[in-house]
């Protein structure tokens, strides 16, 4: 479970469309290199990889209500998280 940097956990409201995600990832072998995000698990494969960062701005889409965000991480060896 991740957190929204403004202090709201993934189960509480932020009141904002643009949130700051706090991403914590480690990989003892080659290290974490990149990440990508999508609103659905199926959409992850079509998203562009970006450099890993511990804090990421993200714009939530759609109307008010519950949101899901899926994240994949890739290490320097090319291994991708589930």
pLDDT at 1 (0 to 100): 43
pLDDT in tens, 38-59: 988 899 999 999 999 988 888 8
CB 52 within 8 A of CB 21: no
pLDDT band at 82 (very low <50, low <70, confident <90, very high): confident
**What are residue 70's phi and psi, to 5 degrees?**
-105, 140
For residue 3, what pLDDT is reported?
A: 47
Query: Token pair of 67, please?
Result: 């949101």
Residue 18 is predicted with a pLDDT of 81
Scan for tokens 């940097």, then name that residue.
5
pLDDT in tens, 53-77: 988 888 888 777 777 888 999 999 9
């Amino acid at each position: 479970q991740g957190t929204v940097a403004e202090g709201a956990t993934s189960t509480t409201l932020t009141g904002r469309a643009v949130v700051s995600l706090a991403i914590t990832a480690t990989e003892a072998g080659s290290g974490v290199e990149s990440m990508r995000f999508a609103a659905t698990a199926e959409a992850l494969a079509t998203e562009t990889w970006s450099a890993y960062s511990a804090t990421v701005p993200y714009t939530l889409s759609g109307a008010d209500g519950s949101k899901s965000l899926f994240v994949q991480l890739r290490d320097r060896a090319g291994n991708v998280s589930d």
